[in-house]
Each structure stands twice: as C-alpha cells, then as structure tokens.
Amino acid sequence: MVVDLDKLYNWPFEEIEQTYTVRDSIIYALGLGFSTNPTDDEQLNFTFEERNFKTVPTMAAVLCSPGFWLRNPDLGIAWEKVLHGEQSIELHRALPTHATVKARTRISDIIDKGEGKGALIFTERTLINVASDEALATLKSTTFARGDGGFGKTPGVQPAPHTLPNRLPDRICDLPTSPQAALVYRLSGDLNPLHAEPRVAAQVGFERPILHGLCTLGVSGHAVLKTYCGYETGRFKSLKLRFSAPVFPGEIIRTEMWRDGDQISFRARVIERDIIVLDNGLSIVDVG
C-alpha cells in the first residue's frame, strides 16, 4: 500500500460528543486497579459514589477518542504494524465526575523517517465541557507507522524525549494489576480484541492478551497522583511518556519517580520480568 499524504493530512475527523457518567468514572478507576484493597479510604473516593467522589485525571485520554481511524483503507497505511508510541495529557482543570464533552482530532504533524524506516503521525484533540464551554484537557498522541515511510514527505526530526535524572529514584510506587484488568479496562472504550481474545493475541506473537497501553499509563498516573498529589486531583496538571513494552494483566507495575520542583520524572517497569514498559515520563504537579 502507498500512503496518500494529502488524504492523511486532511482526514475529515468528525467532532465527537460523549456523555460520561459517574458509573463510567468508576469503571475506568476499577480498570486501572483502584480499590484492589476495598477498604482503602482514599481510593474508595474514586470507586464509590457515596464518598467524596472524584474522577481519575488520566480518564481524559479515553474521552472522545476517534477510534482506530488509521485502519481506513483509503489512507494506505499498513495498520497491522502501527504502534502507540507516545501520549501526553494536559489538564486545564480537574475532570468533573460526570459531564458531556466534545472534541475533534486533528493531525498536527507527520515525520517521514524514510523508505523502510516508518513514519510518525502526531495527533491532537482538546476536550471541551459542553455545559460550560471550558477546555478540560488537551491530548497529544504519537503513532509509529512501522510499515510505512518514504512516501514523499521530506524526512523530519523526531522531538527529543524527556531525559530522566541520573540518580536513584526519589520515590517508588508498586501497584498491582489484576488478571482480568484488560477485560475491565476495555469497557472504557478500547475494544481491540488483542486485549481480550487469546487467539488474536497469539496471531501477533503474544502468549496471551496484553494490557492496553493507556491502562499502563493510567496506573503510573495513579502512582504520581498517590505519591505527590495526595489523591487531590486538582494538583495533577499534566503527564507525558513513551510506551516501550507491553504489560500482561496480573503483573505488578513499579513506577520509579524523581522530583525536581513541580516536575516529576518517571518510568515504569513490571517487577516480574524486570522490563521497562513506560519511559521518559514527565508529570507536572502542584506540590503545594
């Protein structure tokens, strides 16, 4: 297939409007592993509506998603080989516990790495609270189209990743995932069978279904929220990272963090296999 660059740059994304409820916020939190200990007072505020109920900040990443649009054959992209490379979330205010939101995705840039080297596709969307017309969050994503490249665009330079400090982590937070984590998390919108059907996972080389990348992101976001924000969602301002390896449901995710002022650098690894699964992470928090 040959990528149609003009179509790609001008892809007609529709504006998506989505209503999420308290129930949706609870399902998202449970998918990340909140209330694994159901008597944890702080985490119950995200999973039991009769408490001081809050929505997990990283839920912004799953709202008004355009879906797997790169699979459209008109684009000419080898969709079977695309990977979610990077993700960022900038919170303009704390997410409401429930709301109707809208957003339109746009392509902000494309980097052609050259023939046989793939391409990077950068997308962006801003979530708007329909009731107040206020911006809630800006989401930026980088997709690595491994099977493409060399389609006529002048090769660009990939932005440099955030550099982690050269010292031992200041804090470490271990959070478990359940064996059924992907089956719960998919209820927040990503229904890719890779995360549920063992036969599909085997077809692409995995021994069993893997956890969604955005779920792994949410677990590390939870670690930052717990460790440096005291579960106060208004103090969690932003997060960005690179995905480096998949997680299998049931593994423990260890988030290693370094604080420099209001900047929290981090990476995540699974303890069982000692493999880094998220890298070059940076979160901005209100340290109080």
Active-site positions? 190, 195, 210, 213
Separation CA 231–CA 148 (nearest Å)? 42
Which residues partner with 254 through β-bridges? 174, 269
First to last CA, the chain: 53
Cβ(212)–Cβ(191) under 8 Å? Answer: no
Q: Following CA atoms 229, 124, 63, 75 in sequence, which dihedral angle do they give, to the nearest 10 degrees?
A: -150
Residue given tokens 């296999």 in the structure block:
273
Six token digits for residue 224? 């930052």
How does 183-211 read in b/e, with b if 16+ C-beta sit within 10 Å?
ebbbebbbeeebbeeeeebeeeeeeebbb
